[in-house]
Each structure stands twice: as C-alpha cells, then as structure tokens.
Structure 1
Amino acid sequence: MAINDVAANDDASIPLINSPSSRDRTSAIQTLGNIIVSIVGTGVLGLPYAFRVAGWFAGSLGVIIIGFATYYCMLLLVQCRDKLESEEGQEDSKTYGDLGFKCMGTKGRYLTEFLIFTAQCGGSVAYLVFIGRNLSSIFSSYGLTMVSFILILVPIEVALSWITSLSALSPFSIFADICNIIAMCFVVKENVEMVVGGDFSFSDRTAIASTVGGLPFAGGVAVFCFEGFAMTLALEGSMREREAFPKLLGKVLAGITFVYVLFGFCGYMAYGDETKDIITLNLPNNWSAIAVQIGLCMGLTFTFPIMVHPLNEIIEQKLKRIGCLQKHRHHYHHETSSVSKYVIFTTRMLLVVGLAGIASLVPGFGTFASLVGSTVCALISFVLPASYHLTLLGPSLNLWNKSVDVFIVICGLLFAVYGTYNTVAGL
C-alpha cells in the first residue's frame, strides 16, 4: 500500500519521494524505484491463494486486466491534474483531494480523503495481520495466536509512531522492500522445486473456477495489490522529465503485472488446493524459510509507522482546523506546546490500538485483502479517476473517450458492490 499524497506537505517525512516543489527532482531511475515501492506490498503474497479461488487462467487474465486498467486510470489522474493546473496556475501542486474539490466541492474533497484514509487503514491492518499470522505459524508450539502477536506489537508500534521524523525509519523501508524481493524469489524457487520434483499434475489445477464468486474475490485481491493511486500525482510531479512519466509508468506496470502473474501462477501450481491465503505459510519448516518470514516481519514492523504516517497527518490536520492543536511555528522543524504534544501522542496511540483491534478481528488475510480491494481501492483506483476525468475534461473529449470513462465508472461500481457482497457473504 502506498503513502497518501495528503502528507505531501511534509516532504522530509516521506521516504524516497521528492516534493514537486523540490529543487532536485527525481531521475527516471529514481522514479522507477519510487513507483515499485509505492505499489508492491504484502498483497502480492496473497495472489497464489487468489489464483486458487479463481483458477489459474481466470486469475492470470484478471491480474492483466487490472494492471492495464490501473495504468489507464493513473494517466487519467495526471490529465485531470494538468487541466486543473492550467486553469488555476501551478503555484501549488494539485492533489487527489483538490481534484475532488474541483469536481464536487467540499463533499468531493471529504469523500476523496475519506476513501484514501480508509484504504491506508486497510493497508496498515494488512501489515499487522501478515506479521501476526506468520509469527504465530513459526512459534505455534508456544501456543501464541495471531492476536497474541498483534497485542505484543502494539507497544512497539505506538513507540515508533511517536517518532516525528520518519527519515530515521527510511532504511527500514528499504530493508522491507529487499525482504519482499528475497521472499518472492525464495517462494518462486520453492514452488518450482515442488512442481519439478513433486507429485504434480497440471490437470489437477483449475483453470476457471466453477463458482462465480471466485472471480470477484480474486479481482479484489488483484486491485489491492495494485493500489498506489494516492502517490500517482506526487510521483509524476516529482519527476525531472514529467513528459516521460506515462511511458515509464507503462513499462514499470507491465513488469509488475508480469511478476504478479508469474508469482500467483507458480504458487498455485505448487500447492494446488492446499495454497494458503499467505503463501509464506506454505513454506517448509526449515531455517531458510523461517529466516525469510522473520525478515519480512521485522521489516514490516519498522515500516508500519510509515504506513500510518499519512493517517496521523490527516488526523492532526483536522485537529488543527478545529483548534485542538496550537503550534508555535519558528521554522520548518517547529516546536509544539506540551498540550499539543500530549494530543499528538494520544491520538497516535489510539490510532495504533484501533488498527490492532481491527486486525485482531480479521478472519483471514486473503478475505480482508479482497474486501479492501473490492471496496475503497476499486473506488479510488477506477471510479473516481474516470468520473473526475469525465467532469473536468468532458467538453474536450471525443465520444470514444467519454464512453470509456462511463464504462469504467459503471464497471467499477458494479465490481465494488458485487465484490463486497461476495466477500462478506463468504465470511
């Protein structure tokens, strides 16, 4: 899950992302890395299970369609921002919330920020569920459950969330990304060995699920894996050669889509109907597999504060507007009164406790990822970009572009409604 562009006013606190107003903009290579960091997360480890539910062919086709739709709708956002900047000037970089305000007024801004806030909460909860599930599987002999490990994490995450400058945590973000890559490579290696050396029959693997509900379930997981729309405008605006962004984004998303299909396909081929909702839980109980799982959990533990940072920013901005936080600004690194610090520490603690409480109630990682992907992620990724594009650029669009926008809005809404119903009904 990506970092919210609502936090773009605190440039130093967003690792690997430069502000559009920064003197030193990012190169193509840096932007490439930023796109990967913004999109690829823990959701990919649930793709093999999604392929098990939908079938390997339906799952592969669904990931490809979602990848293409993600690319198209990200470009729609960039076009909307360019239109808005051309009308109002480029003194201030326009955010996703600004687009909502331009299209629907204050309600549009609140709706956009609420959906982004909810999606960010979903990503943060997914982190806790992932850590709890993996640690409980490693230390199952001690009788500790997923909820036990989540509760153990609470004081650690509260303390880390009190760090006001997240630049100190950026090395852990890089560490987590390296662990993700190592884990994916290790899982693929284990899967290939299972297929080549095990009792494997291709005919035993379902191509298309016989149940209709399997397709929207897998689609929700795929949308969850691609969710990075909150960073689209910040990534494009931070690039030194902004006109090259669409081509670069297309190449990166094509590569990510290929890796997602390969990863989901290999995982399902290796374990079949035994594929678990987090593929690392299928790994053998040896030192190398345990090391990969622990490395992933450690990296996610220290990057959790980065995930919740945009949430803290939104909450604290709202509190400032109603006068709960009175800050005495002297320069960029301002001082705060003791009352303000107390309020900040309290709200951050309550946020972590609330997210941990939600994570403790999650029945399964795959089910939760599908639910978040089918609801808020689908609205942020497809419905809002297409509707904003239709509103802002409607008069200048030809019939084909208008039809595509309407088609995306309708399909996105239907997918959100049915996907949510299907996931909740399957609980």
Structure 2
Amino acid sequence: MEEGQKAAPLLGAARDEERGRRRGGGATSAQTLGNVVVSIVGTGVLGLPYAFRTAGWVAGSLGVAAAGCATLYCMLLLVDCRDKLEEEEYEETCHGHYTYGDLGEKCFGTIGRWLTEILILVSQAGGSVAYLIFIGQNLHSVFSQLMSPAAFIFAILLPVQIALSFIRSLSSLSPFSIFADVCNVLAMAIVIKEDLQLFNHPFANRNAFNGLWAIPFTFGVAVFCFEGFSMTLALESSMAERRKFRWVLSQAVVGIIIVYACFGVCGYLAYGEATKDIITLNLPNSWSSAVVKVGLCIALVFTFPIMMHPIHEIVEARFQSSGCLQKLSQKVHSAEWLGLHSSRIVVVSILSVVASFIPAFGSFISFVGSTVCALLSFVLPTLFHLSIVGSSMSLWRRWLDYGFLLFGLAFAGYGIVTALLPH
C-alpha cells in the first residue's frame, strides 16, 4: 500500500471477469516478475531513509527484511487458499479464479467480503492520501516562494484530480503508471548518487540501533512499502505457468528487500539526523533534482486516478444500489450520471482535505502500514488459511499461522494506540 497498489482488480466487474477463467493467462515468468515489482514498489520507498534514521541502520535493515519475509509468507497463504478451493470445487462447479474478496466471503460469508473490501478501500485511500502529501511537499520544495504544500493540494491537485476522475477507462491512464515507475527508479538512482558523494565518513555519528521502541515505526513503514496484496491473486492467475508463481514471487520480494535495505542505509548514512521523511527533500537545489521532483509529481498526478479506481468502484456500487437514487433516476433522466460523478468529486475532495491536515509523510505511512496494512497483510491471510486449509495442515504450520495472526493483531493494536496517544 501503498502507492505500489495499482487499481486492485478484485472488486466489482474485475471479480466477475476473473471467475470466467479457470487456467492461467499468457504472462511469462519474466513479465510476471516485472509486474510484481511494479505492483509493490512505489513512492513509499522514499520514506525508508527516514525510518532508518528513527530505528538505526542495522535495526532498519532487519525491519525491512522481516517485513518482506512476513509479507511473502502471507502472500503465499492466499495462493494456497485459492489452490485448495479450486481443487475442491473444480470437478463440481469449475468455479474459476478466486479473488481476495471471494476468499473473505467463502470463509465468513457476506461479512467477510465486506470486511475485506473495506480494508482494501481504506488501504487504497491511505495510499492516495500519501500521493497527495508527497506531491504537495515536493512541489513546495521546488516552488517554495509560491505557496504552501496544502495550498498546492487545493489550488492545483484538487481541480486536476476532479477532472481526471471523470475518466473511467484505466487503459488510457496506464502509460502514466509506467512513467511513474520509471521516475521512481530515476529518483532512487539520483538519491543514491548524491548519497555516495557524501560518504566521507559514512558511519560517523550514525546509530546502528536506536532502541526497541523505534522498531515498530520502521516496520510499519516497511509494511506500507511492501503492501501489494490486492494484486497477488490477479498476478498469479495471469501467469501461463501458474505453478512457477511462488518461485517468481519469492525472487521478486528478495530482490526488493535488498534494494530497500540498501536505499534506506545509503540515505541515512549520507544525511544522518538531517534525513527528512521524504528523502527527495534532502536533494540539493539543482536542476537535476528539480526535474526528478517535478517528474515524480507529474507521474503521480496521472496515476492517482488508478489508485482511486477501487474506491470509486465500491462507492458507486453502494450508491447505485440505494433506493433513493433509483427513484430519482425515474424522475430525472440524468440523475444517475450526475450522482455518480458527484460522488467522485466528493471522495477526491475529502481525501484532499485529509492530506492537507497531515504534516508528516513518514509518520502517516507508518501508521497506515502498522494498522490497515497489517490487518490486510497478516491477519486476513492467516484467518483465511486456517479456515480453508487448516484441517489438512501439520501442527507446526497451524502454530505458525496463529503466530502471524496474533502478531498482526498486536501490531495493528499498537499502531492504533500509538496514534491516539498525545505526542
């Protein structure tokens, strides 16, 4: 969740589309590897050096590795659940490919689907707000004489995003998603280049471990950066050889762990206690830095509607099912069209207001990662796995699942309590 989550294909019409396919798609292992990386890596990575500053470079590296391994394990649990269900139902109904919401409904009925989709909605909303905060602060760093970050959000981003929200075809926006990923890679490369130039005495006055209480913050940021659960089942079903997905996913996550750890360590060692919650804000005032910041902002402006797509889909589905709208549509021909587009404007406006009141990017993504993402990444997968596969698992696997379940609940509780306590 993070900004790495692209238009989760597990709600609404996408769910019905997936049900129509029993076998895998046509994606090769290399294509799936690339898609996994694109679905996970996003702008949240630019907050990792600040997390390493908070925890220390050794503790930060261990936190990233732990978050990555835990995320990988729980992603594979989802694949196990769907394989088990397809194996049981293939001969009778040939149901097809289950989605995350389908697993929730299979285990806990309508409440399970609602809970799963609400968590996905909130997670997507958190990623969307992070986009707005990131854009506003980076534009302010380049054009600080013009207006504040909040003013950039309302004066520039809000009108543009309202206009883009009227575009319903994701295919017309997909090239900008690729552009955003290219900009992310470029930004990371330039940041590392600047970091290496400051490596005269890289370990001088740099803490390796800042205490136990700093670890949850870093782990929350890391979980946010690894949040790609909404794409797991869709990516697996897109492969021509689905049996290879576990190996491909493992390769991708291990590679991302290494990149994240190196990026976080380099950023913190370069800037020390001056490391900001968005590392691009540490870059010098040069034309190359300005180009990277503006390029990232432009790319995210056009990928923001992709992040918003699942949210609009859920809101509009509930809106269309309301009796009030149906009655009004019978009297006013364009009432449904106006209502649906008005809902998009309202949702974008609400998220813009939320983003304008959040001063700290790093603290925000840590909170989202340690609460909503923890529930989505650790609690629900283990619950589904225990419900669907539990009877056929060995004792140690059940205990391992229970361990992840309790950890996810405790971590989410800690994140909520920490957010409520006065700072």
1:32 aligns with 2:33: yes
- Counterpart Cα distance in 2 of 1:425 and 1:208: 24
Q: Is the CA contact (8 Å cut-off) linking 1:103 and 1:392 kept in structure 2?
A: yes
Q: Which residue of 2 aligns with 1:104?
A: 108
Distance 1:233 1:315, change over 3 A: same
- Please show how residues 128-167 of structure 1 align to structure 2 within 5 Å: 128-142=132-146, 144-151=147-154, 152-167=156-171
Q: Which residue of 1 aligns with 2:311?
A: 311
- Counterpart Cα distance in 1 of 2:166 and 2:106: 35
* Amino acid of the structure 2 residue aligned with 1:163: I
Q: Which residue of 2 aligns with 1:179?
A: 183
1:368-395: per-residue Cα shift (whole Å, max 9, x none)?
A: 0000000010010011101110111111
Q: Which residue of 2 aligns with 1:82?
A: 83
1:21 CA drift (Å): 6.7
1:201 CA drift (Å): 4.9
2:209 aligned counterpart, secondary structure: coil
1:117 aligns with 2:118: no
1:260 aligns with 2:260: yes
Match for 1:379 among 375, 378, 395?
Answer: 375
Aligned Cα RMSD in Å?
A: 2.1
1:289 CA drift (Å): 0.4
- Counterpart Cα distance in 2 of 1:73 and 1:8: 24
Q: Is the CA contact (8 Å cut-off) linking 1:117 and 1:311 kept in structure 2?
A: yes
1:5 aligned counterpart, secondary structure: coil
In the comparison of the two structures, how many residue pairs are matched?
Answer: 409
Q: Is the CA contact (8 Å cut-off) linking 2:202 and 2:270 kept in structure 1?
A: no
Q: Is the CA contact (8 Å cut-off) linking 1:219 and 1:374 kept in structure 2?
A: yes
2:359 aligned counterpart, secondary structure: coil
1:20 CA drift (Å): 5.1
Question: Which segment is superposed worse, 415-424 or 353-362?
Answer: 415-424
1:418 CA drift (Å): 1.4
- Counterpart Cα distance in 2 of 1:266 and 1:421: 31
1:24 CA drift (Å): 5.3
1:420 CA drift (Å): 3.0
Q: Which residue of 1 aligns with 2:320?
A: 320
Q: Which residue of 2 aligns with 1:334?
A: none
- Counterpart Cα distance in 2 of 1:203 and 1:20: 57
Question: Which segment is superposed worse, 385-394 or 269-278?
Answer: 385-394
- Counterpart Cα distance in 2 of 1:7 and 1:103: 17
TM-score, normalised relative to structure 1: 0.91
Q: Which residue of 2 aligns with 1:205?
A: 206
1:26 CA drift (Å): 1.4
- Counterpart Cα distance in 2 of 1:313 and 1:64: 34
- Counterpart Cα distance in 1 of 2:41 and 2:422: 27
Q: Which residue of 1 aligns with 2:245?
A: 245
Match for 1:193 among 180, 193, 197?
Answer: 197
- Counterpart Cα distance in 1 of 2:316 and 2:324: 9
Distance 1:77 1:426, change over 3 A: farther
Q: Which residue of 2 aligns with 1:64?
A: 65
1:424 CA drift (Å): 4.4
* Amino acid of the structure 2 residue aligned with 1:181: V
- Counterpart Cα distance in 1 of 2:160 and 2:324: 26
- Please show how residues 352-391 of structure 1 align to structure 2 within 5 Å: 352-391=348-387
1:23 CA drift (Å): 8.7
Question: Which segment is superposed worse, 25-34 or 369-378?
Answer: 25-34
- Counterpart Cα distance in 2 of 1:360 and 1:184: 26
Distance 1:403 1:10, change over 3 A: closer
Question: Which segment is superposed worse, 32-41 or 367-376?
Answer: 32-41
Q: Is the CA contact (8 Å cut-off) linking 1:370 and 1:423 kept in structure 2?
A: no
1:235-280: per-residue Cα shift (whole Å, max 9, x none)?
A: 1011111000000000010111100000000000000000000000
Q: Is the CA contact (8 Å cut-off) linking 2:319 and 2:340 kept in structure 1?
A: no
- Counterpart Cα distance in 2 of 1:158 and 1:288: 30
Q: Is the CA contact (8 Å cut-off) linking 2:24 and 2:237 kept in structure 1?
A: no
Distance 1:185 1:21, change over 3 A: farther
1:322 CA drift (Å): 3.0
- Counterpart Cα distance in 1 of 2:22 and 2:158: 36
- Counterpart Cα distance in 1 of 2:85 and 2:323: 31
Match for 1:343 among 313, 334, 339?
Answer: 339
- Counterpart Cα distance in 1 of 2:157 and 2:102: 36
* Amino acid of the structure 2 residue aligned with 1:300: L
1:414 aligned counterpart, secondary structure: helix
Structure 2 unaligned regions, length at least 5: 327-332
TM-score, normalised relative to structure 2: 0.92
- Counterpart Cα distance in 2 of 1:347 and 1:376: 24
- Counterpart Cα distance in 2 of 1:107 and 1:201: 52
- Counterpart Cα distance in 2 of 1:194 and 1:160: 41
* Amino acid of the structure 1 residue aligned with 2:150: V
- Counterpart Cα distance in 2 of 1:125 and 1:305: 12
- Counterpart Cα distance in 2 of 1:128 and 1:150: 7
Q: Is the CA contact (8 Å cut-off) linking 2:22 and 2:95 kept in structure 1?
A: no
1:204 aligned counterpart, secondary structure: coil
1:163 aligned counterpart, secondary structure: coil
- Counterpart Cα distance in 2 of 1:303 and 1:264: 25
1:284 aligns with 2:267: no
- Counterpart Cα distance in 2 of 1:412 and 1:62: 15
Q: Which residue of 1 aligns with 2:330?
A: none
